[in-house]
Structure 1
Amino acid sequence: MWVSSGVVLGALIAVGTNVWADKETESVQQASNSIPLQELRAFVEVYERISTDYVDQVDDKQLLEGAISGMLSSLDPHSAYLPPVDAKEMEEHTRGEFGGLGMEVGMEDGFVKVISPIDDTPAQEAGMQAGDLIIKLGSEPVKGKTLSEAVKIMRGKPGTKLELTVVRKGEDAPLKVELTRAVIKVKSIKQRMLKDEIGYVRISQFQVRTGQDLLKAVDKLEQENGKPLAGLVLDLRNNPGGVLTAAVEVSDAFLNEGLIVYTEGRIRNSQMRFSAEDGDIMNGKPVVVLVNEGSASASEIVSGALQDQKRAIIAGRDTFGKGSVQTLMQLNNGAAMKMTTARYFTPSGRSIQAEGIVPDVEIDRLKVEKVEAKIERVKEKDLSGHLEGDEEKKVANGEKPSENEDGITEETAEILEKDFELSEAMRLVKTMILAQQLK
């Protein structure tokens, strides 16, 4: 009996060992098949040739970082290697305070492409526009540089100047634009009352606190109005995006339920779904979202969610079309890699990537100019040492300026007069308010 048992046990061990060995061999073969050994040998060979034969001595660290950077930048315009200094700057950017020119940029055909200028920054004040291609930074051509290298040149000591050579659609020749570097402190939310109890909220960038700041902004408007708003214009023009959770919070602020956005990628962590919780800050009142070609990423998530859920009218022009998720991964050397790990999808399953959000109401890009008299008239307030008027005293004392016959301040009237898109958005809200009242 023992002999028989020993034979059977030996046979089982032998079979089990053979099966395990076969599986191990198969696993090794699969691994060796998935690794491009020939290309890796070529990489090592190129590295050795450069180290020994290049005309100048090359720092090995610089060479390897260049290889890593090239590997990531070849994937798409948003994946990049960030050396330790750049990784720290990226963290500052997310917090909303950093130094530079004040514009969100990417790479296209080897040139720096402006995604959008940021509000109240040198870039916006100098007239930089979404879609501008920067071909020279000072005297240095952009071609051949990585995005990190280009950004490093654009950043610098506040007060110093940098001339950009820009190719702009519709212009026959490249433009020269001089900008003065500054410490960029981005305030992501601004608000003001428009006409007829309609509020206006501008989001220039999605930061960690943007969702909370939106709630405060609407609350301030309602306090100023003395009662709940009749409608709202949410301005996302030239908003380059930012933090995903902030976009979800802003969308959720206007929704009571339903899907906001979901992402799909190859790894489990890149597959996420975000849904709204009960609590619409506008209580179903009309909302119009203003977008344009500079509205990207998180801006497209918000406009896509509110459009699919039929909670707001989207007005303006087709958005940028950045529907990919970048994950910042810290590396052991203090550097980081920013890599695209997923795609965004709106609640109805639309991919934003390279498509963008098509507005419900298109508003052409127009410039409204007031016809001025040939001779500039001098008024009393222009005279040196004039007696202050009541309005000037109010402003000097920090009081609220008086409203004109339309029930708005002169500053708001001037903004509406110059900003055709905002005026059209306000008219849309008024139409929606009327439609609700007639139901």
Structure 2
Amino acid sequence: MKINKVYLPLLLFSTLAVGFLLGGIFIAVPPSPTITSKNETKQKLSRLIDFIDSEYVDDVNTDSIVDQTVTGILEKLDPHSIYIAKNEAEDAAQDMRGNFVGIGVNFFIEKDSVIVINPVKGGPSEKAGIKAGDRILFADNHKLFGKKVNSDKLYKVLKGEPDSNVLLTIYRKSEGKQLKVNVTRNTIPVKSVDVALMVNKNTGYIKINRFAETTYREFEIGLSQLIKKGANSLILDLRDNSGGYMEEAIKIADDFLKDNKLIVFTKNKKGKIDKTFATKNGIFENGKVAILINENSASASEIVAGAIQDNDRGLVIGRRSFGKGLVQRDMPFKDGSSVRLTIARYYTPTGRSIQKPYENGSEEYLNEFLARYHNGELYAKDSIKVADTLKFKTPKGKIVYGGGGIVPDIFTPIEATKGNEMVPMLMQSGVTMNFVFKIIDTDRKAFSKLKYHQIIDKVNRADFYFELFKKHIYESDAYMDLEANKNYVKRYLTAEFCRQLLGEQYYYLIVLKDDLMVKEALKN
């Protein structure tokens, strides 16, 4: 069970790249009109590309040149104005739509095989009889095993139009036989609300992973269910939420704030200010609220946290957020690519910008983020650097700061020994998921018979699975002190076993029980 040596670090740091692609606050507006100009300077690029196309001595991919040029221009602006190539644009748009059309399976590729982790509950594959552990060999006549299989090819053959059919040939390891299964493609939701559950008799918990088109609707359904179960206190978890649509964040903040409370305001290059206020009849205006944030909470997440903090509505708990106070708008091109351009800054109700500096370029901007792992900020609030010149006061006189993220009201250190800050990222990554899947897959019939408390006992009774996992990680040349973080590692291993065998809610029942931020929220 050896992990590719390159795979682990790439996976652990992938959240940074995702944050820059999806983490911007952007406004849902009709497509911008095509921009034209007679200005000679502005026509230089177009004329140069035409000249190269028609006259250059060798064949050149001018599309590639244009992509590089546009990217270079945007890099001169700010770290969040980006070019999205046409081969990436659909994936980005799909993620923010909150759905796609396909067969509905979670999978990974190993040893040249496509392995189903589990079918999406209620989705086309589950309805057709696809099970966890199935290997997909063919989709119609398309071979899906061997060295040439990659994710791009898979998506092309497994996605399609609604109500279209695909004949899958699968190998069911648990039964040792091949099967042919006809699956009718349909719309598959991509959830932005991971879970909504009760952590005690009167406290609800909701985890939001991003702000997509469907987020408020998912949030409203989850919160309404929790209220019916007796929730008069709510923990809203925005950790590792890199942002998304501004409107969705505003609607969620509105549910907590009374009529006419300022949620956020924006200012563009012309100095125009647009203020957004809470409306009547928010569904949780009187209940107790705690917002959980960390160093990966950005943009739209910071709007919600800032609105709650600046209006003295509830507590913000955790670690300093990313510090993203810019608003983007998409400008699509005819070829399917687009530019996501920064068009305004946003400010929290007290008037603070939480955008961290980027004047010295993207490299320093990124290094500031990574530096938090080395300057002690993850372990002590005193290590957070705030500018005394950027102090603001809430209506009740609480001091809050601008200039670099939301500083929490209650600081909570990272749950890892010093020098092993990557352990939490490891335990919440695909590495852990793949490891647990392989263990289950060795005897799926036996594991599937286990009940909730039996799974907990099996994983925690001894260190058998912990030692296997430790060996698994060491063989990848990822040198982390798992022994010093044994309890934390075992908690997440147990949770992952529960998720794959019983479902998402059981994962959170395990991890939240000893979660330091949740404990702080329940105490306060």
TM-score scaled to structure 1, two decimals? 0.56
| Residue 366 (str. 1) matches residue 368 (str. 2) | no
Q: CA deviation at 1:238?
A: 0.5
Question: Among residues 397, 405, 410, which one is paired with 1:356 in the alignment?
Answer: 405
Distance in 1, Cα, partners of 2:323 & 2:448: 53
Q: CA deviation at 1:200?
A: 0.7
- For the pair shown, which has the larger CA radius of gyration, 1 or 2? 1
Q: Which sections of structure 2, spanning at least 5 residues, go unmatched?
A: 1-38, 107-116, 119-149, 156-186, 357-403, 418-422, 424-444, 455-504
424 and 51 in structure 1: CA distance in 2 versus 1, 3 angstrom threshold: farther
Q: Which amino acid aligns with 1:217?
A: G
Distance in 2, Cα, partners of 1:42 & 1:390: 62
Question: Among residues 426, 429, 434, which one is paired with 2:522 in the alignment?
Answer: 426
Q: Verify the 8 A CA contact 1:319 1:358 in the aligned structure 2.
A: yes
| Residue 194 (str. 1) matches residue 290 (str. 2) | no
Q: Which amino acid aligns with 1:243?
A: Y
Q: Verify the 8 A CA contact 2:255 2:285 in the aligned structure 1.
A: no
Structure having greater relative contact order (Cα 8 Å, sep ≥ 6): 2
Q: Verify the 8 A CA contact 2:290 2:314 in the aligned structure 1.
A: yes
1:52-131 aligned within 5 A? 56-97=58-99
Q: CA deviation at 1:344?
A: 1.1
* Structure 1 match to 2:301: 299
Q: Which amino acid aligns with 1:188?
A: S
Q: Verify the 8 A CA contact 2:98 2:214 in the aligned structure 1.
A: no
Q: CA deviation at 1:249?
A: 0.3
Paired residues, number: 289
Which segment is superposed worse, 280-289 or 338-347? 280-289
| Residue 261 (str. 1) matches residue 264 (str. 2) | yes
| Residue 204 (str. 1) matches residue 198 (str. 2) | no
Distance in 2, Cα, partners of 1:386 & 1:278: 48
1:155-304 aligned within 5 A? 156-157=152-153, 186-189=190-193, 190-223=195-228, 225=229, 227=230, 229-257=231-259, 258-266=261-269, 271-304=273-306
Q: CA deviation at 1:208?
A: 1.5
Q: String of CA shifts for 1:204-245, please: whole Å, max 9, x gaps.
A: 11111222222211211122x2x4x23111110001111110
Q: Which amino acid aligns with 1:215?
A: E
Q: Which amino acid aligns with 1:266?
A: K
Q: Which sections of structure 1, spanning at least 5 residues, go unmatched?
A: 1-34, 103-119, 122-153, 160-182, 370-382, 393-408, 429-439
Q: CA deviation at 1:58?
A: 1.9
45 and 284 in structure 1: CA distance in 2 versus 1, 3 angstrom threshold: closer
| Residue 326 (str. 1) matches residue 328 (str. 2) | yes
Q: CA deviation at 1:198?
A: 0.9
Q: String of CA shifts for 1:95-146, please: whole Å, max 9, x gaps.
A: 12479xx9xxxxxxxxxxxxxxxxx99xxxxxxxxxxxxxxxxxxxxxxxxx
417 and 60 in structure 1: CA distance in 2 versus 1, 3 angstrom threshold: closer
Q: Which amino acid aligns with 1:210?
A: T
Q: Verify the 8 A CA contact 2:205 2:236 in the aligned structure 1.
A: yes
SS in 2 for 1:253: helix
81 and 361 in structure 1: CA distance in 2 versus 1, 3 angstrom threshold: same
SS in 1 for 2:200: coil
Seq. identity, %: 33
Q: CA deviation at 1:325?
A: 0.8
1:27-66 aligned within 5 A? 56-66=58-68
Q: Verify the 8 A CA contact 1:72 1:80 in the aligned structure 2.
A: yes
SS in 2 for 1:341: strand
Q: Which amino acid aligns with 1:156?
A: D
267 and 327 in structure 1: CA distance in 2 versus 1, 3 angstrom threshold: farther
Q: CA deviation at 1:284?
A: 1.6
157 and 309 in structure 1: CA distance in 2 versus 1, 3 angstrom threshold: farther
Q: Verify the 8 A CA contact 1:80 1:337 in the aligned structure 2.
A: yes
Q: String of CA shifts for 1:340-378, please: whole Å, max 9, x gaps.
A: 111111011110211111111111112499xxxxxxxxx
Distance in 2, Cα, partners of 1:291 & 1:306: 12
Distance in 2, Cα, partners of 1:213 & 1:192: 13
Q: Verify the 8 A CA contact 2:84 2:337 in the aligned structure 1.
A: yes
Q: CA deviation at 1:184?
A: 9.8
Distance in 2, Cα, partners of 1:201 & 1:299: 13
Q: CA deviation at 1:275?
A: 0.8
Q: CA deviation at 1:90?
A: 2.6
Q: String of CA shifts for 1:316-348, please: whole Å, max 9, x gaps.
A: 000011111110012344432211111111011
SS in 2 for 1:194: strand
Distance in 1, Cα, partners of 2:232 & 2:275: 32
Q: Verify the 8 A CA contact 1:367 1:420 in the aligned structure 2.
A: no
Q: String of CA shifts for 1:47-77, please: whole Å, max 9, x gaps.
A: 96898778x5323343234322321233222
Distance in 2, Cα, partners of 1:187 & 1:282: 22
Q: Verify the 8 A CA contact 1:231 1:287 in the aligned structure 2.
A: yes
Q: Which amino acid aligns with 1:423?
A: K
Q: Which amino acid aligns with 1:415?
A: V
SS in 2 for 1:307: helix
Q: Verify the 8 A CA contact 1:251 1:305 in the aligned structure 2.
A: yes
* Structure 1 match to 2:511: 415
Distance in 1, Cα, partners of 2:274 & 2:408: 26
222 and 336 in structure 1: CA distance in 2 versus 1, 3 angstrom threshold: same
Q: Verify the 8 A CA contact 1:51 1:60 in the aligned structure 2.
A: no
Q: Verify the 8 A CA contact 1:84 1:335 in the aligned structure 2.
A: yes
Q: Which amino acid aligns with 1:320?
A: F
Q: CA deviation at 1:45?
A: 7.8
Distance in 2, Cα, partners of 1:414 & 1:79: 39
* Structure 1 match to 2:371: none
RMSD of the TM alignment (CA)? 4.2
Distance in 2, Cα, partners of 1:60 & 1:389: 59
* Structure 2 match to 1:310: 312
